[in-house]
Chains A and B, each alone.
Chain A
Amino acid sequence: MEFATILFKTILLFVIFVITLLVAMYATWAERKVAAFIQDRRGPNRAGPMGLLQPLADGLKMFMKEEIIPMTANRVLFIMGPSIAMTTACLTGAIIPWGGNLTINNKIYSLQITDLNIGILYIFAMVSIGVYGIMIGGWASNNKYSLLGAIRAASQMISYELAMGLSIITLVLTTGTLSLSEIVDQQQGWHWNIFYHPLGFIIFLICAFAECNRSPFDLPECETELIGGYHTEYSSMKLGFYLFAEYINMFISAAVISTLYFGGYHMPFIHHLDLSPNVMTLIGSAFFFLKIFFFIFLFMWVRWTLPRFRFDQLMNLGWKRLLPLGIINMFITALIILLNEYL
């Protein structure tokens, strides 16, 4: 690789990292605003204009708080838990195509940090490792409530990953690739995958909610029945890491949903505008972020609409409804592809 490419990728890496953290930071603010608006309140409006400095204040509070590691806890694992959660959450951003190609000095740079040909599998792998963060955190606390919360989280994630995988298989059947950049390129104009896989999209969306531990599937954390779930024993910034990782996960899954089903950075009608390629790329990226923000809003919207599922309801929905639906969807898609080939 040339020096210029390495430099560009490094800068891109840094920018994406900062954007991820910023979006996650302001997602906490947005979450509170959305919650307030849906409940006819105003939300944070004291710290800065519109309460925009609220995330900074929250962060400062988290850093200033006393840090406690319980005496009976396994110190190494206890520290490892939030680190794994945070690291895996940040790693996923590397393979998402954030935009088209930029041309600088007659050289073409892609706005994707690395174009893995097994992109989707990489995401699945990272999300699965994310369970370890929660599980280890719950285990290392040496607390029955934390352990129960962690077990709930793990069982939930395992159950929903199956249905998620099935919905992805239908997508792979039609696109014929696992690389995210190719999947996006096939969706130019209005050829968004949502129109070809509506059922698959719904299954994927529901599973994404469950994978992010977002309401109505936020079983791992529960104030009433398990005191606080897997992070009961955590304090100060370790707790902050867990909560922050959740928001990063939300941002990444919103990005994945828009990439897989909503055409990623492709904007319909943009070719009629007659713009230079670089400007088009930037507008595309902005459009991509609009889609992401919409899905983040959807996450919050659902959170403040639905109550939390009971554990047996969650398992019923995952194993008895979504899994069969996913299989049926896969068979129908495969059948249509076969018929198309022979007829």
Chain B
Amino acid sequence: MEKLTGRSKVVSNKKLSFWESIYLPAIIGGMFITIKHFFRKKVTINVPEQTRKRSDVYRGMHVLKRDDEGRERCTACGLCALSCPAEAITMVAAERKPGEEHLYREEKYATIYEINMLRCIFCGDCEEACPKEAIFLTDRLVESEYKRKTFIYGKDLLVEPLEKDKRIDVSKRQTPEVLEFKKNKKLTHNK
């Protein structure tokens, strides 16, 4: 049979010799191994003071992006909710009224947009499904809460702030591959 690793050993039930049964040589060998670790560099990260650097494409809490003029990009098409395998996203669509052109980018928008963070598996399918570049996963973490219902995040938590300097940077997620993928009109959700 093929071995899975190069470190596997054949187990034998042979009787231990006298020196083996006194265990001392093996013990001293083991003690050398542990003392080497004693002086090794520690791998611990002191969490409140230090933070582990997350990957550029880490899939954390979602953001609903605004465009350059501060209008919400989301058109409540429902593709994200459709693509969501955990069915965490729900939304209610509404029509834009005259005078709201500075708030919403297109005629349709989401009055309610909710993600249940307990259901979300952070797979990133919503991000890929979105034809309007409106929803992205970010490197932010979902905060811990005391009650289940507070984990349902509405627009107040998801939509990024109006101020330009407080916007959430997702440029690293829009890799050339992703942009290319979004241009592919053969795929139904890009049409």
Contacts and interface: CB of A to CB of B under 8 A. Distances in A.
B43 interface: yes
Contacts of B42: 37, 40-42
A305 B38 contact: no
B37 A39 contact: yes
A45 B44 CA distance: 12
Contacts of B8: none
Contact of B34 (A42, A202, A305): A305
Given A40-B42, A40-B43, A41-B42, A202 B24 contact: yes
Interface in B30-52: 30-31, 33-35, 37-44, 46
* Range class of the B interface residue count: 20 to 34
B22 to A, nearest CB: 5
A299 to B, nearest CB: 12
B54 to A, nearest CB: 22
B21 A316 contact: yes
A301 interface: yes
Contacts of B38: 34, 37-38
B178 interface: no
B27 A302 contact: yes
Contacts of B37: 37-40
Contacts of B33: 305
Given A38-B34, A42-B42, A305-B34, A321 B22 contact: yes
A305 B21 contact: no
A306 B28 CA distance: 10
Contact of A321 (B21, B31, B44): B21
B23 interface: yes
Q: In the complex, which of the residues A38, A202, A306, A321 has the most CB atoms of chain B within 10 Å of its own CB atom? A: A38
Interface in A20-58: 34, 37-42, 45
Interface of B: 18, 21-24, 27, 30-31, 33-35, 37-44, 46
25 contacts: A37-B39, A38-B34, A38-B35, A38-B38, A39-B37, A40-B37, A40-B40, A40-B43, A41-B43, A41-B44, A42-B42, A42-B44, A45-B46, A202-B24, A301-B31, A301-B34, A301-B35, A302-B27, A305-B30, A305-B31, A305-B34, A306-B30, A316-B21, A321-B21, A325-B22
